[in-house]
Amino acid sequence: MVETVIDLWTKYDYVYINGLLGTIYLAAITVFIATIIGTVIAIMKLSEIKIFDFITALYIGVLRGTPILLQLYFFWLVLPKITPFELSDTVCIVIALIVNASAYVAEIIRAGIQAVDKGQTEAAKSLGLSDANTMKKIILPQAIKNILPALGNEYITMIKQTSLASVFFVGELMTSYKTVQSATFLAVPSLVIVGIIYLIITTILSKGLNIFERRLRLNDM
Amino acid sequence: MTCKKIFEVKDLSKSFGKLEVLKNINESIYEAEVVCIIGPSGSGKSTFLRCLNLLEKPTSGKVFFEDVDISDKSIKINKYRQKIGMVFQSFNVFPHLTVLENITLTPVLEKKVSKEDAKNDAFELLKRVGLFDKRDEYPTRLSGGQKQRLAIVRALAMKPDVMLFDEPTSALDPEMVKEVLEVIKDLAKSNMTIVIVTHEMGFAREVSDRILFMDEGIIAEQGTPSEIFDNPQNERTIEFLGKVL
């Protein structure tokens, strides 16, 4: 078994490495754009405008209440039909991943902001700070300490979720597994290789996150 | 006493859902006056105070600050709040800023005071309340009494025309109550207009020009400290003072 794994790796390492690059690419785009969109949605949700509250509640509710695989299928099927220009499978899947992740990011940011003691807002307002300065100088610097660790965990989850793109044969790590498996008929050794690569990335990121969290807490002292 | 009105409240009512907390209150606060609001819990004292700087929006009625209707929705309320200092029961100092930054933040951002001037003002204020040595500490290192003194000078740094205190000593350990009350007393002597919601009856008696007794959303009785404490007329006032004194 160990030998087969090593053999497979020596022979097909470029396939896996390409897959890894695909995964990193998908995850990076998703994380980056989902964070921006998620922030906007969180701000809309926190605003006291009723229509925004309704729209964002619906958006977050649907995206968190249905399976991500269903959402990928939905975007993959529907997007090409409603856009006037050609969309590759990859683009459809990336958009779906971003939309899904943005809902989770929005909830993390909203919760982080709302976890800041209400007295802080009241004190800032009573001093005569504008709403924008209250957010920027008082609420966000405190909320960020709640948000960042949770966001880091969400990013790790996103990396694992990009594997669902393999269902649509979008180039990433799990698709590499399929490629090698169909060429060699060796399923389990290929899975082991891919699994180890995922484990390495997620472990590195969790460790990095732990160090970062400890730093944040030190600043509190 | 001068006759300039700092606050004038007209037909002020406030409800939270079905609960009517303030019932049609009419009252004025005059310049350089020290007014203490006393009364049982749930009588609407804090809500009344919080309506004065619009932290609570009145359900109906108007609040005038220096003859401007600040309950008017089209008004830029933060400009007026800069002249109305407020101190809370739970201090609400900013934990991510140093003692000095807590004080200088708003003057620099909102009043465009230069950093240097803001810092000098802050030093003066910190010396006044004995916190100068703590200027570079974060609030987590301060005791409750020190946090509350910081909250007071943070509000004073905006050079307000009036100070509102919402049960400023209720969250303090007993041995720290005095140091905070001393600061408020000094402030009262400096002719600042002050409105205080408090349970410290001895302090209220000593420092006030006028006492308002609130009960069930109305100002049930008011008068000088000796009128209220020595010769209360209202049955509810008598009952309340009987319990707390």
Which domains occur in chain A, in start order? Answer: 2-220 (1.10.3720.10)
Lowest mean pLDDT, pick from B3-7, B110-114, B165-169, B212-216: B3-7
H-helix or E-strand containing A32? helix A2-46
- The answer on pLDDT for B1 being more than 70 is no
Say how far apart CA B78 and CA B88 lie, in whole Å: 18
What SS3 class is residue B37? strand
Q: Which of A122, A125, A126 to mutate against chain B (most B CBs within 10 Å)?
A: A126
* pLDDT digit string, tens, across residues A109-147: 999 999 999 999 999 999 999 999 999 999 999 999 889
Q: Does B147 touch chain A (CB under 8 A)?
A: no
Mean pLDDT value across residues A147-176: 92
- Which residues partner with B65 through β-bridges? B7, B68
pTM of the model: 0.83
Say how far apart CA B233 and CA B5 lie, in whole Å: 27
Facing residue for A119 by CB, picked from B92, B110, B155: B92
Note the pLDDT of residue A220.
62
Residue-wise burial string across B126-155, b where 16 or more C-beta atoms lie within 10 A, e elsewhere: bebbebeebbeebbeebebbbbbbbbbbbb
* pLDDT digit string, tens, across residues B24-44: 999 999 999 999 999 999 999
- The answer on pLDDT for A175 being more than 70 is yes
Q: Does B106 touch chain A (CB under 8 A)?
A: yes
Computed over every residue of chain A, the mean pLDDT equals 92
The dihedral over CA atoms of A55, A59, A61, A62, expressed in degrees to the nearest 10, equals 130
If you write DSSP's letter for every residue of B119-135 in order, what string do you get? Answer: HHHHHHHHHHTT-GGGT
Yes or no: say if B151 and B87 are a contact pair by the CB < 8 Å rule: yes
Note the pLDDT of residue A47.
85
Note the pLDDT of residue B245.
81
Amino acid at A114: Q
What SS3 class is residue A116? coil
Note the pLDDT of residue A219.
64
**pLDDT band, residue B193 (cuts 50/70/90):** very high
Say how far apart CA A139 and CA A21 lie, in whole Å: 37
Per-residue tokens: A60: 């977050």
Kindly provide the ipTM of the predicted complex, given to two decimals. Answer: 0.93
* Burial of residue B234, with CB atoms counted within 10 A of its CB: 0-12 exposed, 13-18 middle, 19 or more buried: middle
If you write DSSP's letter for every residue of B5-36 in order, what string do you get? Answer: EEEEEEEEEEEETTEEEEEEEEEEEETT-EEE
**pLDDT band, residue B2 (cuts 50/70/90):** low
* pLDDT digit string, tens, across residues B119-144: 999 999 999 999 999 999 999 999 99
- The answer on pLDDT for A59 being more than 90 is yes
Query: What is the percent of chain A where pLDDT is above 90?
Result: 86
Rounded to 5 degrees, φ, ψ at B237 are -65, -45
Amino acid at B17: G
Contacts of A127 in chain B (CB under 8 A): 81-82, 85-86, 106, 110, 154-155, 158
Query: What is the percent of chain B where pLDDT is above 70?
Result: 99
Q: Does B56 touch chain A (CB under 8 A)?
A: no
Yes or no: say if A126 and B86 are a contact pair by the CB < 8 Å rule: yes
Say how far apart CA A187 and CA A195 lie, in whole Å: 12
Tell me which residue has tokens 């609400």.
B92
Give which of A188, A166, A167, A186 is closest to A176, Cα–Cα: A166
Say how far apart CA A37 and CA A137 lie, in whole Å: 22
Q: How far is A48 from chain B (nearest CA, A)?
A: 14
Yes or no: say if B109 and A137 are a contact pair by the CB < 8 Å rule: yes
Mean pLDDT value across residues A29-42: 94
The residue that leads in pLDDT, A17 or A219, is: A17
H-helix or E-strand containing B165? strand B162-166
Q: Does B86 touch chain A (CB under 8 A)?
A: yes
What SS3 class is residue A170? coil
Residue-wise burial string across A162-171, b where 16 or more C-beta atoms lie within 10 A, e elsewhere: bbbbbebebb
Amino acid at B36: C
For residue A144, the tally of other CB atoms under 10 A from its CB is: 16
Q: How far is A118 from chain B (nearest CA, A)?
A: 9
Say how far apart CA A204 and CA B8 lie, in whole Å: 63
* pLDDT digit string, tens, across residues B174-186: 999 999 999 999 9
